[in-house]
Structure 1
Amino acid sequence: MTNSLRVRLIDDDDDLRMAQRQMLDIAGIEIEDFPDARSALTGLDRDYRGIVLTDVRMPGMDGIQLFRHIHAMDPDLPVILLTGHADVDMAVSALHAGAYDFLTKPIAGDVLTASLRRALATRALVLENRRLRQVGDDAALAHPQLMGDSPAMVHLRDALTRVSEAQSDALIIGPSGAGKSLVARAIHRQGPRRSKAFVTLDCTNTTDTGLEAMLLGQQPALGARHPRSAGLLEKAHRGILCLEDVTVLPQAAQIRLLNLIEAGEYWPAGTAAPRPLDIQIIATANHDDPAAFHQGLYYRLSRAVLRVPPLSERMQDIPALFRSFLQTAADRLSRGVPPLTDLVMARLSAHPWPGNLRELQAFAEHHILGLTPNTTQEPQDRPPLPDMVAAYEAELIRDALRECQGHATEAMSRLGLPRKTFYDKLTRHGIRPADFRT
């Protein structure tokens, strides 16, 4: 998508502007150039498919005034300022006000193209996120793994919404495979930062020595032709940085991480000045154990704690989840959805699902491919037949209550059960009709 975007170049020096245009044409970057800021505003709006590269000192409207005009119209449209050394303080001030970058003249071609390509990639992401919202916020935000009417999931979705709206830092805890990363991405999709980047740091693959370079970027070796690489803080600015499995980071790395994100600014590798840092931190962990954290980092992350329940605590959600996984697998594999046999339904209700969502997804694919329902379970681990029958009976009762929106009389009529028998079964299975009322 980046290749279809362009750079709007503004410079009142005709010779310099033409030289820059030729250099960028050779680099494969599409350019449209203007001799002054006023003419460059023509056709520039929130839907502009590109970025702006402008000189600072120009007659009439200068580059700083142009940036302010553009930023008021669309703060997500990257503006890069070309400055002389005398204008650096002015450019730094604009950077803190929201300018994407500033570069001092004379500028090397590879440095200029690298900065432009990063800005183009940022703009491409913004436009794509806007397109997704236009085709339907509900479709973009919905996530089938987070569906369910169990009390635990209703509470989780409510907490997720409040965290996303408040742009609060958060710690998401839960067992492996329960969907912690899905919750983190849902916070991003539903919050004000959804048009910005969602950047992930896998802490299990991070070393003490490598953390600094991952966060701040890397400056190429002296004489190298490759431009510097942007760090995760630069990529996540105004967006979200997700720290996966944060408790595996050593204490020293946690302290350094805390210092960087609390400073309010950072110094990217290879740059001439610090940059402001506006970031929302979301971390995931298998447990909420303060002993596994540096104290300051724990207090920062635990401003909001979201607990993702295992499937064993939301058994009533499993049939709907399984049907969703079946349809997804069928679409991907270009197969029809086979009928759900009594044996499959009994397994859904009786199996403890220690692998959580991942295990349930794998079972759905086995079913689509026509493999035996017990492929993922050793025979000696299968529950006794009476337990499977009881679990299947409980699920049929839940289905009836779900369809009848918790009306017990209508549900017992659908099931063909006398009142006393129906209520005896509710007590035996721990089912409350009130949990199914809308």
Structure 2
Amino acid sequence: MSQQSVIQIALIEDDEIVRLAISQRLQLAGYDVIECADGESALSLIPTGFPGIVISDVRLPDISGLALLPQLLANNPEMPVILMTGHGDINMAVNALRDGAFDFLEKPFDPDKLIETVGCAIEKRQLQLGANKREEYLQQAQGLDQILIGSSPGMVELRQQLVKIANIDTNVIIYGDTGCGKELVADCLHKVSTRSQGNFVALNCAAIPEALFESELFGHEAGAFTGAIKKRIGKLEYADKGTLFLDEIESMPLNMQIKMLRILQEKLIVRVGGNKSIAIDVRVIAAAKESLKDNQGFRQDLFYRLNVAQLYLPPLRERGEDILLLFEHYVNLANIHAKPLSGLDEKTLLAYGWPGNVRELINVATRFGLDASLTVADILVTKPLASIDSSASELSLAMQTQNFERKVIAEALRTHKGSIIEVMDILDLPRRTLNQKMQKYDLHRADYI
């Protein structure tokens, strides 16, 4: 759905000819326009939570646009309101902006200038509405929605499948890239299953030396080998009546794959150095980065034994605006009073490739939450080159250029203590251009005074 179709524009203008001309120009640009001839009718048509912006004439038959402004903002304090008049002056414009107007247009104005101003206002409004929607999700999320955060189709489907599989007591394979959160999914699967009273035991197959693998899984008796001073319970036995999670199972040594297959078939283990068979009742959840079917390094009979059910965890780059939702969640965990995301921050987050997936996002979000001077792009472009997958994660030239422009303007505001006149002079920018760029990059003069 396009931005124009989501955001409505309430146009308040008593002159029918002017109102029709402006409305037609906005509709040609793709916007949905609600027309009002006076302030009273506008107030009745613009409810609390109105998902749009307002363009109002200053001179209306029943109320001044300047007097209407605080009434509009009382119900919708974040809503951009653009005022226009053919009888304005500098003082009127300054007062209107001080009282909360988004911008002030003097008639007659260039239609392209109107569309440009409306575009900036709508971008700001869409940022606000998006942030409000994400905040509402995070505040109201319960159960799995609160743990496996996300409203993208892939995450909604994952949660639905997880609930279906949970109480079917069978083995499961979870597929997903490194850093996606496969262990979190496995833990959720365990907690909502009938085995939730048993232990959830996680083992990373890639992290265990081959010589220790058998002891880790089966345990050992005292004196089974040098250093085995006392009996040790293995992961499989400890997970009895519960769940064993085998992460990166594709890394399991071939000889252990054979033994694992037999255990799944017979549900019996023998500790290293022992003779007694021990019955176990374990659900095995395996995780892999790539398909195990026809994988030459993985036994296919073990694959078929595990592959009773499958779950797919999409990489972060495929989850769209879940990226913003997750980012704000982890920023709040780091610092509940952290600054909000700017428009440029949001664009940067969505444009980045996230080779490290959620694990990488958590690190960036934590740093963003703890250092108010940094933008998202600042954090991403200063990462060590060795940690960046250049094929998927480099920021575009446009993103880096915008980030540089924002830093230059912010530094000028800081150096000149928020003096707009001095910043205009040092950067050689007209006031309107500077104002638009400050709005675009969410820079506020009051923060630098």
SS at match of 1:315: coil
| Aligned position for 2:301 | 296
Q: Which residue of 2 aligns with 1:287?
A: 290
Specify whether residues 239 and 139 from structure 1 end up closer, same or farther in structure 2 by C-alpha distance, changes over 3 A only: farther
The answer (yes or no) to whether the contact 1:164–1:190 under 8 Å persists in 2 is yes
Match of 2:396 in 1: 383
Whole-Å separation in 2 of the counterparts to 1:363 and 1:152: 23
TM-score, with structure 2 as normaliser? 0.51
Contact 2:203 2:247 in 1 (8 A): yes
Contact residue 366 and residue 375 of structure 1 kept, 8 A: no
**Which residue of 1 is the match for residue 405 of structure 2?**
none
Query: How many equivalent residue pairs?
Result: 248
Q: 1:341 to 1:257 in 2, by over 3 A?
A: same
Tell me how far apart the structure 2 counterparts of residues 188 and 242 of structure 1 sit (CA, whole Å). 10
1:184 corresponds, among 186, 189, 207, to: 186
In 1: Cα distance, 2:159 partner to 2:239 partner = 24
- Evaluate the alpha carbon distance shift between residue 174 and residue 298 of structure 1 in structure 2; reply closer, same or farther with a 3 A threshold: same
Structure 1 residue 228: Cα displacement: 0.7
1:249 is displaced (CA, Å) by 1.5
Partner of 1:353: 354
* 1:349–1:388 CA contact under 8 A, matched in 2: no
CA distance in 2 between counterparts of 1:230 and 1:140 reads: 36
The ranges of structure 1 where at least 4 consecutive aligned residues each deviate by more than 4 angstroms after the TM superposition are 138-141, 222-226, 269-272, 386-389
Quote the Cα distance in structure 1 between the aligned partners of 2:287 and 2:167. 19
For residues 44-97 of structure 1, give each alpha carbon's deviation from its aligned partner in whole angstroms, at most 9, with x where no partner exists.
Answer: xxxxxxxxxxxxxxxxxxxxxxxxxxxxxxxxxxxxxxxxxxxxxxxxxxxxxx
- What is the Cα deviation at residue 234 of structure 1? 1.2
Secondary structure at 1:374's aligned position in 2?
helix
Which 5+ residue runs of structure 2 have no aligned equivalent? Answer: 1-139, 383-389, 403-449
- In structure 1, the gaps of 5 or more residues are 1-137, 390-438
Cα distance in 2 between the residues matched to 1:251 and 1:299: 16
Residue 256, structure 1, aligned to residue 269, structure 2: no
Determine whether 1:329 maps to 2:334. yes
Q: 1:227 deviation in Å?
A: 3.3
Q: What is the RMSD computed on CA atoms of the aligned residues?
A: 2.9
- Cα 1:356–1:228 change in 2 (3 A) is same
1:13-412 aligned at under 5 Å gives the runs 141-142=143-144, 144=146, 146-221=148-223, 226-269=229-272, 273-290=276-293, 291=295, 292-330=297-335, 336-370=337-371, 371-378=374-381, 381-385=394-398
Residues 171-191 of structure 1: per-residue CA shift (max 9 Å, x gap): 111111111111111101111
Alpha carbons of structure 1 residues 207 and 226: separation in structure 2 relative to 1, 3 Å: closer
Cα distance in 2 between the residues matched to 1:361 and 1:179? 11
Percent sequence identity over aligned pairs: 31
Q: Distance in 1 between matches of 2:191 and 2:401?
A: 39
Instruction: Report deviation, 1:209.
Output: 3.2
Q: Deviation at 1:368?
A: 1.0
Give the deviation of 1:167 after TM superposition.
2.1
Post-superposition offset of 1:336: 2.0
1:258-280 CA deviation, whole Å, 9 max, x = no partner? 11232122233576742221110
TM-score (norm 1): 0.52
Give the conservation status (yes or no) of the 8 Å contact 1:366–1:372.
no
Residue 158 of structure 1 aligns with an amino acid whose one-letter code is: Q
> What SS class does the counterpart of residue 380 from structure 2 fall into?
coil
| Cα 1:272/1:281, change in 2 over 3 Å | same
